[in-house]
Structure 1
Amino acid sequence: MSGAADFVHLVEPARRPQAPTLLLLHGTGADEHDLLPLGRVLAPGAALLSPRGKVDENGMNRWFRRLREGVFDVDDVVARAAELAEWLPAALEHHGLDAPVVAAGFSNGANIAAALMFLHPGLLDGAVLLGAGYPLQGRGPGGADLSGTAAFLGAGAADPVSTPDQARLLADHLAGRGARVEFLEHPGGHGVPPRVVEGARAWFDGRYGSP
Protein backbone atom coordinates (compact mmCIF):
# COMPACT_ATOMS: atom_id res chain seq x y z
CA MET A 1 0.00 0.00 0.00
CA SER A 2 2.26 2.78 -1.35
CA GLY A 3 5.21 1.29 0.50
CA ALA A 4 3.61 1.58 3.92
CA ALA A 5 3.58 -1.43 6.21
CA ASP A 6 0.04 -2.76 6.05
CA PHE A 7 -2.40 -3.45 8.85
CA VAL A 8 -5.23 -5.95 8.79
CA HIS A 9 -8.24 -3.67 8.56
CA LEU A 10 -11.88 -3.21 7.61
CA VAL A 11 -13.43 -0.36 5.66
CA GLU A 12 -17.00 0.89 5.43
CA PRO A 13 -17.35 3.52 2.68
CA ALA A 14 -18.99 6.85 3.34
CA ARG A 15 -22.71 7.28 2.74
CA ARG A 16 -22.73 10.96 3.66
CA PRO A 17 -20.83 13.51 1.56
CA GLN A 18 -18.49 15.84 3.43
CA ALA A 19 -18.35 13.58 6.49
CA PRO A 20 -14.89 12.99 7.97
CA THR A 21 -13.29 9.56 7.94
CA LEU A 22 -13.46 7.85 11.34
CA LEU A 23 -10.34 5.89 12.32
CA LEU A 24 -11.40 3.22 14.83
CA LEU A 25 -8.73 1.98 17.25
CA HIS A 26 -9.74 -0.97 19.43
CA GLY A 27 -8.73 -1.77 22.98
CA THR A 28 -6.58 -4.61 24.29
CA GLY A 29 -7.80 -8.05 23.26
CA ALA A 30 -10.22 -6.77 20.63
CA ASP A 31 -9.88 -6.50 16.86
CA GLU A 32 -10.95 -4.51 13.83
CA HIS A 33 -14.61 -5.51 14.28
CA ASP A 34 -14.95 -4.25 17.83
CA LEU A 35 -15.62 -0.51 17.41
CA LEU A 36 -17.62 -0.61 14.19
CA PRO A 37 -20.94 -0.28 16.09
CA LEU A 38 -19.58 2.68 18.03
CA GLY A 39 -18.39 4.31 14.82
CA ARG A 40 -21.83 3.98 13.25
CA VAL A 41 -23.39 5.67 16.29
CA LEU A 42 -20.83 8.47 16.53
CA ALA A 43 -20.84 9.36 12.86
CA PRO A 44 -23.75 7.88 10.89
CA GLY A 45 -22.88 7.74 7.21
CA ALA A 46 -19.17 8.52 7.69
CA ALA A 47 -16.48 6.28 6.24
CA LEU A 48 -15.05 3.89 8.84
CA LEU A 49 -11.45 2.69 8.74
CA SER A 50 -10.73 0.09 11.39
CA PRO A 51 -7.25 -1.50 11.62
CA ARG A 52 -6.01 -4.20 13.97
CA GLY A 53 -3.11 -3.61 16.33
CA LYS A 54 0.00 -5.65 15.54
CA VAL A 55 1.34 -6.31 19.03
CA ASP A 56 0.52 -9.74 20.46
CA GLU A 57 0.36 -9.85 24.25
CA ASN A 58 -0.38 -13.44 25.25
CA GLY A 59 -2.80 -13.79 22.35
CA MET A 60 -4.36 -10.34 22.80
CA ASN A 61 -4.11 -7.66 20.13
CA ARG A 62 -2.56 -4.37 21.24
CA TRP A 63 -1.15 -1.25 19.63
CA PHE A 64 2.08 -1.11 21.62
CA ARG A 65 3.93 -3.07 24.27
CA ARG A 66 3.64 -2.50 27.97
CA LEU A 67 6.07 -3.51 30.68
CA ARG A 68 3.26 -4.32 33.10
CA GLU A 69 -0.29 -3.15 33.81
CA GLY A 70 -0.32 0.63 33.55
CA VAL A 71 3.36 0.95 32.57
CA PHE A 72 4.04 1.48 28.88
CA ASP A 73 7.12 0.75 26.78
CA VAL A 74 7.32 4.36 25.61
CA ASP A 75 9.96 3.66 22.96
CA ASP A 76 7.52 1.16 21.47
CA VAL A 77 4.68 3.69 21.70
CA VAL A 78 6.78 6.08 19.60
CA ALA A 79 7.73 3.40 17.06
CA ARG A 80 4.21 2.00 16.71
CA ALA A 81 2.69 5.45 16.36
CA ALA A 82 5.15 6.17 13.54
CA GLU A 83 4.17 2.94 11.80
CA LEU A 84 0.48 3.77 12.05
CA ALA A 85 1.12 7.33 10.90
CA GLU A 86 2.92 6.02 7.82
CA TRP A 87 0.13 3.62 6.99
CA LEU A 88 -2.83 5.95 7.42
CA PRO A 89 -2.34 8.30 4.42
CA ALA A 90 -1.62 5.32 2.17
CA ALA A 91 -4.76 3.57 3.38
CA LEU A 92 -6.86 6.68 2.76
CA GLU A 93 -5.53 6.95 -0.78
CA HIS A 94 -5.89 3.24 -1.46
CA HIS A 95 -9.54 3.17 -0.40
CA GLY A 96 -10.47 6.58 -1.79
CA LEU A 97 -11.28 7.98 1.64
CA ASP A 98 -11.29 11.67 2.41
CA ALA A 99 -9.74 13.82 5.07
CA PRO A 100 -10.27 15.11 7.68
CA VAL A 101 -9.65 12.05 9.82
CA VAL A 102 -11.05 11.72 13.33
CA ALA A 103 -9.85 8.90 15.57
CA ALA A 104 -12.15 7.10 17.97
CA GLY A 105 -10.37 4.77 20.36
CA PHE A 106 -10.94 2.86 23.57
CA SER A 107 -8.26 2.21 26.20
CA ASN A 108 -5.09 1.04 24.40
CA GLY A 109 -6.57 2.31 21.12
CA ALA A 110 -7.31 5.72 22.64
CA ASN A 111 -3.75 5.87 23.94
CA ILE A 112 -2.24 5.26 20.49
CA ALA A 113 -4.62 7.89 19.07
CA ALA A 114 -3.36 10.38 21.64
CA ALA A 115 0.22 9.45 20.74
CA LEU A 116 -0.58 10.17 17.09
CA MET A 117 -1.82 13.63 18.07
CA PHE A 118 1.33 14.52 20.02
CA LEU A 119 3.90 12.85 17.75
CA HIS A 120 2.33 13.42 14.34
CA PRO A 121 0.39 16.69 14.55
CA GLY A 122 -1.80 17.40 11.57
CA LEU A 123 -2.52 13.74 10.86
CA LEU A 124 -5.76 13.80 12.87
CA ASP A 125 -8.29 16.60 12.93
CA GLY A 126 -9.70 15.36 16.23
CA ALA A 127 -10.20 12.35 18.44
CA VAL A 128 -12.70 10.67 20.72
CA LEU A 129 -10.56 9.20 23.52
CA LEU A 130 -12.38 6.77 25.81
CA GLY A 131 -10.72 5.22 28.83
CA ALA A 132 -7.41 6.88 27.91
CA GLY A 133 -4.34 8.00 29.79
CA TYR A 134 -1.25 9.97 28.84
CA PRO A 135 0.71 7.64 26.51
CA LEU A 136 4.20 9.18 26.71
CA GLN A 137 4.76 8.31 30.34
CA GLY A 138 7.76 10.07 31.83
CA ARG A 139 8.21 12.26 28.77
CA GLY A 140 6.79 15.61 27.83
CA PRO A 141 4.35 16.06 24.96
CA GLY A 142 6.91 17.85 22.80
CA GLY A 143 6.29 21.00 20.84
CA ALA A 144 3.34 19.84 18.75
CA ASP A 145 0.99 22.64 17.73
CA LEU A 146 -2.48 21.18 18.21
CA SER A 147 -4.40 24.40 17.68
CA GLY A 148 -7.24 23.69 15.30
CA THR A 149 -7.66 20.15 16.60
CA ALA A 150 -10.14 18.94 19.20
CA ALA A 151 -10.60 16.00 21.52
CA PHE A 152 -13.43 14.49 23.54
CA LEU A 153 -12.32 12.50 26.59
CA GLY A 154 -14.58 10.09 28.45
CA ALA A 155 -13.13 8.94 31.77
CA GLY A 156 -14.36 6.77 34.63
CA ALA A 157 -14.01 8.10 38.16
CA ALA A 158 -13.51 4.51 39.37
CA ASP A 159 -11.36 3.34 36.44
CA PRO A 160 -8.48 1.20 37.79
CA VAL A 161 -6.80 0.85 34.37
CA SER A 162 -6.77 4.41 33.05
CA THR A 163 -7.10 6.35 36.28
CA PRO A 164 -8.85 9.73 36.46
CA ASP A 165 -5.49 11.37 37.20
CA GLN A 166 -4.03 9.94 34.00
CA ALA A 167 -7.07 11.02 32.00
CA ARG A 168 -6.83 14.56 33.37
CA LEU A 169 -3.09 14.64 32.66
CA LEU A 170 -3.82 13.71 29.05
CA ALA A 171 -6.49 16.42 28.84
CA ASP A 172 -4.10 18.99 30.31
CA HIS A 173 -1.31 18.12 27.86
CA LEU A 174 -3.68 18.30 24.89
CA ALA A 175 -5.06 21.65 26.00
CA GLY A 176 -1.55 22.88 26.75
CA ARG A 177 -0.57 22.26 23.14
CA GLY A 178 -3.61 24.19 21.88
CA ALA A 179 -6.27 21.53 21.34
CA ARG A 180 -9.88 22.23 22.29
CA VAL A 181 -10.73 19.59 24.88
CA GLU A 182 -14.07 18.42 26.23
CA PHE A 183 -13.77 16.20 29.30
CA LEU A 184 -16.66 14.07 30.55
CA GLU A 185 -16.20 12.04 33.72
CA HIS A 186 -18.64 9.28 34.59
CA PRO A 187 -18.94 7.41 37.90
CA GLY A 188 -18.08 3.99 36.47
CA GLY A 189 -14.91 2.05 35.73
CA HIS A 190 -13.07 1.04 32.58
CA GLY A 191 -15.94 1.09 30.13
CA VAL A 192 -18.05 3.26 27.85
CA PRO A 193 -21.49 3.85 29.38
CA PRO A 194 -24.39 5.27 27.34
CA ARG A 195 -23.89 8.72 28.86
CA VAL A 196 -20.39 8.89 27.40
CA VAL A 197 -21.50 7.63 23.99
CA GLU A 198 -24.20 10.31 23.95
CA GLY A 199 -21.67 12.97 24.94
CA ALA A 200 -19.24 11.87 22.26
CA ARG A 201 -21.97 11.85 19.63
CA ALA A 202 -23.00 15.39 20.62
CA TRP A 203 -19.37 16.51 20.47
CA PHE A 204 -19.00 14.97 17.03
CA ASP A 205 -22.20 16.56 15.76
CA GLY A 206 -21.16 19.94 17.11
CA ARG A 207 -17.80 19.84 15.36
CA TYR A 208 -18.60 18.04 12.12
CA GLY A 209 -22.34 18.36 11.70
CA SER A 210 -25.15 15.83 12.06
CA PRO A 211 -26.39 13.70 9.15
Structure 2
Amino acid sequence: MASTLKRDAPALTFTHRFEPATLVGATPLLLLHGTGGDETDLLPLGRMIAPGAALLSPRGQVSEAGMPRFFRRLAEGVFDEQDVARRAHELADFIGAARTAYGLAAPVAVGFSNGANIAAAMLLLRPEALAGAVLLRAMVPIAAPPAGTLPGTPVLMLSGAMDPIVPPENAARLAALLTARGALVEQRTLPASHGLTATDLTAARDFIARIGRPGAA
Protein backbone atom coordinates (compact mmCIF):
# COMPACT_ATOMS: atom_id res chain seq x y z
CA MET A 1 0.00 0.00 0.00
CA ALA A 2 1.15 3.53 -0.65
CA SER A 3 1.83 6.14 2.01
CA THR A 4 -1.05 8.25 0.63
CA LEU A 5 -3.57 6.37 2.77
CA LYS A 6 -5.67 8.96 4.60
CA ARG A 7 -5.77 9.07 8.37
CA ASP A 8 -8.95 7.46 9.74
CA ALA A 9 -9.54 5.79 6.38
CA PRO A 10 -11.98 2.85 6.29
CA ALA A 11 -10.55 -0.65 6.53
CA LEU A 12 -9.34 -1.99 3.19
CA THR A 13 -10.20 -5.68 3.11
CA PHE A 14 -8.21 -6.80 0.05
CA THR A 15 -4.46 -7.20 -0.16
CA HIS A 16 -3.61 -4.66 -2.83
CA ARG A 17 -1.15 -2.26 -4.39
CA PHE A 18 -1.89 1.41 -4.91
CA GLU A 19 0.13 3.82 -7.04
CA PRO A 20 -0.99 7.46 -6.81
CA ALA A 21 -1.52 9.54 -9.92
CA THR A 22 1.31 11.63 -11.29
CA LEU A 23 -0.83 13.28 -13.96
CA VAL A 24 -3.64 15.65 -12.96
CA GLY A 25 -6.96 14.65 -14.50
CA ALA A 26 -5.95 11.07 -15.33
CA THR A 27 -8.75 8.55 -14.85
CA PRO A 28 -7.88 6.01 -12.11
CA LEU A 29 -7.67 2.35 -13.10
CA LEU A 30 -8.77 -0.72 -11.16
CA LEU A 31 -6.51 -3.58 -12.26
CA LEU A 32 -7.94 -7.09 -11.92
CA HIS A 33 -5.61 -10.03 -12.56
CA GLY A 34 -6.35 -13.44 -14.06
CA THR A 35 -6.21 -16.84 -12.35
CA GLY A 36 -2.89 -17.34 -10.62
CA GLY A 37 -1.97 -13.66 -10.72
CA ASP A 38 -1.68 -11.20 -7.88
CA GLU A 39 -1.76 -7.50 -7.11
CA THR A 40 1.48 -6.84 -9.02
CA ASP A 41 0.64 -8.60 -12.29
CA LEU A 42 -1.16 -5.84 -14.19
CA LEU A 43 0.72 -2.84 -12.82
CA PRO A 44 3.05 -2.70 -15.87
CA LEU A 45 0.01 -2.92 -18.17
CA GLY A 46 -1.68 -0.11 -16.24
CA ARG A 47 1.37 2.11 -16.58
CA MET A 48 1.51 1.43 -20.32
CA ILE A 49 -2.14 2.09 -21.15
CA ALA A 50 -2.71 5.03 -18.80
CA PRO A 51 0.59 6.82 -18.04
CA GLY A 52 0.30 8.94 -14.92
CA ALA A 53 -3.02 7.47 -13.75
CA ALA A 54 -3.64 6.24 -10.22
CA LEU A 55 -3.56 2.43 -10.15
CA LEU A 56 -5.49 0.31 -7.65
CA SER A 57 -4.72 -3.40 -7.93
CA PRO A 58 -6.31 -5.88 -5.48
CA ARG A 59 -5.53 -9.57 -5.12
CA GLY A 60 -8.39 -12.05 -5.51
CA GLN A 61 -9.39 -13.61 -2.21
CA VAL A 62 -10.25 -17.09 -3.50
CA SER A 63 -7.55 -19.76 -3.77
CA GLU A 64 -7.75 -22.53 -6.36
CA ALA A 65 -4.89 -25.00 -5.77
CA GLY A 66 -2.88 -22.08 -4.42
CA MET A 67 -3.73 -19.75 -7.32
CA PRO A 68 -5.51 -16.49 -6.45
CA ARG A 69 -8.86 -15.87 -8.14
CA PHE A 70 -11.70 -13.41 -7.63
CA PHE A 71 -14.43 -16.08 -7.33
CA ARG A 72 -14.92 -19.85 -7.27
CA ARG A 73 -15.52 -21.97 -10.33
CA LEU A 74 -16.91 -25.49 -10.56
CA ALA A 75 -14.99 -26.36 -13.75
CA GLU A 76 -13.31 -24.56 -16.65
CA GLY A 77 -15.87 -21.97 -17.78
CA VAL A 78 -18.45 -23.07 -15.19
CA PHE A 79 -18.84 -20.54 -12.39
CA ASP A 80 -20.25 -20.77 -8.88
CA GLU A 81 -22.72 -17.94 -9.48
CA GLN A 82 -23.60 -17.47 -5.82
CA ASP A 83 -19.92 -16.96 -5.08
CA VAL A 84 -19.59 -14.65 -8.09
CA ALA A 85 -22.33 -12.41 -6.67
CA ARG A 86 -20.90 -12.44 -3.15
CA ARG A 87 -17.38 -11.63 -4.33
CA ALA A 88 -18.59 -8.90 -6.70
CA HIS A 89 -20.30 -7.13 -3.81
CA GLU A 90 -17.21 -7.52 -1.61
CA LEU A 91 -14.98 -6.07 -4.32
CA ALA A 92 -17.38 -3.18 -4.96
CA ASP A 93 -17.37 -2.41 -1.22
CA PHE A 94 -13.55 -2.45 -1.25
CA ILE A 95 -13.52 -0.01 -4.17
CA GLY A 96 -15.75 2.37 -2.22
CA ALA A 97 -13.47 2.17 0.81
CA ALA A 98 -10.36 2.66 -1.34
CA ARG A 99 -11.89 5.70 -3.04
CA THR A 100 -12.36 7.29 0.39
CA ALA A 101 -8.94 6.20 1.64
CA TYR A 102 -7.00 7.40 -1.41
CA GLY A 103 -9.24 10.21 -2.64
CA LEU A 104 -10.18 8.63 -5.97
CA ALA A 105 -12.92 9.08 -8.52
CA ALA A 106 -14.79 5.99 -9.66
CA PRO A 107 -12.21 3.92 -11.55
CA VAL A 108 -12.25 2.24 -14.92
CA ALA A 109 -11.72 -1.49 -14.44
CA VAL A 110 -9.11 -3.22 -16.56
CA GLY A 111 -9.56 -6.96 -16.08
CA PHE A 112 -8.01 -10.00 -17.71
CA SER A 113 -9.79 -13.39 -17.83
CA ASN A 114 -11.02 -14.06 -14.25
CA GLY A 115 -10.44 -10.37 -13.50
CA ALA A 116 -12.51 -9.38 -16.53
CA ASN A 117 -15.29 -11.68 -15.38
CA ILE A 118 -15.48 -10.14 -11.88
CA ALA A 119 -15.47 -6.68 -13.48
CA ALA A 120 -18.38 -7.75 -15.69
CA ALA A 121 -20.19 -9.06 -12.60
CA MET A 122 -19.77 -5.67 -10.90
CA LEU A 123 -21.16 -3.92 -13.97
CA LEU A 124 -24.23 -6.16 -13.72
CA LEU A 125 -24.64 -6.12 -9.93
CA ARG A 126 -22.96 -2.93 -8.65
CA PRO A 127 -22.81 -0.55 -11.62
CA GLU A 128 -22.10 2.47 -9.41
CA ALA A 129 -18.69 1.05 -8.49
CA LEU A 130 -17.11 1.61 -11.91
CA ALA A 131 -16.86 4.45 -14.41
CA GLY A 132 -16.19 2.02 -17.26
CA ALA A 133 -14.34 -1.16 -18.07
CA VAL A 134 -11.83 -2.82 -20.36
CA LEU A 135 -12.76 -6.51 -20.40
CA LEU A 136 -9.98 -8.69 -21.79
CA ARG A 137 -11.23 -12.24 -22.64
CA ALA A 138 -14.42 -11.92 -20.60
CA MET A 139 -17.33 -14.36 -20.29
CA VAL A 140 -20.88 -14.04 -18.95
CA PRO A 141 -20.36 -14.23 -15.16
CA ILE A 142 -24.03 -14.57 -14.16
CA ALA A 143 -26.56 -16.16 -16.50
CA ALA A 144 -29.63 -14.27 -15.24
CA PRO A 145 -28.56 -11.11 -13.40
CA PRO A 146 -31.12 -8.90 -11.66
CA ALA A 147 -32.42 -5.83 -13.45
CA GLY A 148 -30.11 -2.85 -13.58
CA THR A 149 -28.93 0.03 -15.72
CA LEU A 150 -25.59 1.23 -17.08
CA PRO A 151 -26.61 4.43 -18.85
CA GLY A 152 -23.72 5.55 -21.04
CA THR A 153 -21.06 3.49 -19.24
CA PRO A 154 -18.18 2.91 -21.69
CA VAL A 155 -17.05 -0.71 -22.04
CA LEU A 156 -14.39 -2.18 -24.30
CA MET A 157 -14.50 -5.96 -24.80
CA LEU A 158 -11.53 -7.60 -26.49
CA SER A 159 -12.01 -11.26 -27.38
CA GLY A 160 -9.68 -13.75 -29.06
CA ALA A 161 -10.78 -15.44 -32.29
CA MET A 162 -8.76 -18.53 -31.32
CA ASP A 163 -9.55 -18.45 -27.60
CA PRO A 164 -10.06 -22.04 -26.38
CA ILE A 165 -11.70 -20.86 -23.13
CA VAL A 166 -14.24 -18.20 -24.16
CA PRO A 167 -16.73 -19.28 -26.87
CA PRO A 168 -17.56 -16.45 -29.30
CA GLU A 169 -21.30 -16.75 -28.56
CA ASN A 170 -20.63 -16.32 -24.84
CA ALA A 171 -18.66 -13.10 -25.37
CA ALA A 172 -21.38 -11.85 -27.73
CA ARG A 173 -24.01 -12.63 -25.09
CA LEU A 174 -22.12 -10.59 -22.48
CA ALA A 175 -21.87 -7.65 -24.89
CA ALA A 176 -25.62 -7.89 -25.51
CA LEU A 177 -26.37 -8.03 -21.76
CA LEU A 178 -24.36 -4.87 -21.12
CA THR A 179 -25.74 -3.06 -24.17
CA ALA A 180 -29.32 -3.84 -23.11
CA ARG A 181 -28.63 -2.01 -19.84
CA GLY A 182 -27.49 1.11 -21.65
CA ALA A 183 -23.72 0.60 -21.67
CA LEU A 184 -21.77 1.91 -24.66
CA VAL A 185 -20.11 -1.36 -25.62
CA GLU A 186 -17.34 -1.66 -28.16
CA GLN A 187 -16.60 -5.33 -28.82
CA ARG A 188 -13.65 -6.42 -30.93
CA THR A 189 -12.50 -9.92 -31.83
CA LEU A 190 -8.75 -10.04 -32.32
CA PRO A 191 -6.61 -12.65 -34.12
CA ALA A 192 -5.44 -14.01 -30.77
CA SER A 193 -5.86 -16.85 -28.30
CA HIS A 194 -6.60 -16.36 -24.58
CA GLY A 195 -3.33 -14.56 -23.90
CA LEU A 196 -2.84 -10.84 -24.39
CA THR A 197 -1.16 -9.34 -27.43
CA ALA A 198 0.28 -5.97 -28.41
CA THR A 199 -3.01 -5.22 -30.16
CA ASP A 200 -4.85 -5.60 -26.85
CA LEU A 201 -2.56 -3.04 -25.23
CA THR A 202 -2.91 -0.56 -28.09
CA ALA A 203 -6.71 -0.89 -28.16
CA ALA A 204 -6.95 -0.51 -24.37
CA ARG A 205 -4.66 2.53 -24.36
CA ASP A 206 -6.64 4.24 -27.11
CA PHE A 207 -9.93 3.48 -25.34
CA ILE A 208 -8.71 4.86 -22.00
CA ALA A 209 -7.44 8.01 -23.71
CA ARG A 210 -10.78 8.45 -25.46
CA ILE A 211 -12.96 8.15 -22.37
CA GLY A 212 -10.61 9.91 -19.95
CA ARG A 213 -12.16 12.50 -17.68
CA PRO A 214 -10.94 14.56 -14.72
CA GLY A 215 -10.19 12.31 -11.79
CA ALA A 216 -11.44 14.56 -9.01
CA ALA A 217 -12.24 12.83 -5.74
Structure 1 and Structure 2 fold alike (TM over 0.5): yes
Task: Report the Cα distance in structure 2 between the residues aligned to 1:140 and 1:4, rounded to whole angstroms.
Answer: 32
Partner of 2:152: 148
Instruction: Kindly indicate whether residue 192 of structure 2 is the aligned counterpart of residue 188 of structure 1.
Output: yes
Partner of 1:111: 117
1:2, distance to aligned residue in structure 2 (A): 5.8
> Does the 8 Å contact 1:133/1:167 carry over to 2?
yes
Instruction: Kindly indicate whether residue 44 of structure 2 is the aligned counterpart of residue 40 of structure 1.
Output: no
Task: Report the Cα distance in structure 1 between the residues aligned to 2:15 and 2:39, rounded to whole angstroms.
Answer: 8
> Does the 8 Å contact 1:19/1:45 carry over to 2?
yes
> Does the 8 Å contact 1:184/1:196 carry over to 2?
no
Instruction: Kindly indicate whether residue 114 of structure 2 is the aligned counterpart of residue 99 of structure 1.
Output: no
Partner of 1:121: 127
Aligned residues: percent identity?
Answer: 51
- One-letter identity of the residue aligned with 1:60: M
Task: Report the Cα distance in structure 1 between the residues aligned to 2:181 and 2:145, rounded to whole angstroms.
Answer: 8
Are residues 173 and 134 of structure 1, via their aligned partners in 2, closer, same or farther at CA, if it must alter by over 3 Å? Answer: same
SS of 1:30's partner is: coil
Instruction: Kindly indicate whether residue 67 of structure 2 is the aligned counterpart of residue 63 of structure 1.
Output: no
1:182, distance to aligned residue in structure 2 (A): 0.8
- 79, 100, 109: which is aligned to 1:72? 79
SS of 2:86's partner is: helix
> Does the 8 Å contact 1:107/1:162 carry over to 2?
no
1:5, distance to aligned residue in structure 2 (A): 5.9
SS of 1:122's partner is: helix
SS of 2:124's partner is: helix
Partner of 1:157: 161
Aligned residues: 207
- One-letter identity of the residue aligned with 1:190: H
> Does the 8 Å contact 2:10/2:101 carry over to 1?
no
Partner of 2:137: 131
Task: Report the Cα distance in structure 2 between the residues aligned to 1:8 and 1:91, rounded to whole angstroms.
Answer: 12
1:4, distance to aligned residue in structure 2 (A): 5.1
Q: Which runs of 5+ in 2 are unaligned?
A: 1-7
> Does the 8 Å contact 2:10/2:100 carry over to 1?
no
- One-letter identity of the residue aligned with 1:21: P
> Does the 8 Å contact 2:178/2:185 carry over to 1?
yes
- One-letter identity of the residue aligned with 1:140: A
Q: Which runs of 5+ in 1 are unaligned?
A: none
Task: Report the Cα distance in structure 2 between the residues aligned to 1:174 and 1:72, rounded to whole angstroms.
Answer: 19
> Does the 8 Å contact 2:73/2:79 carry over to 1?
yes
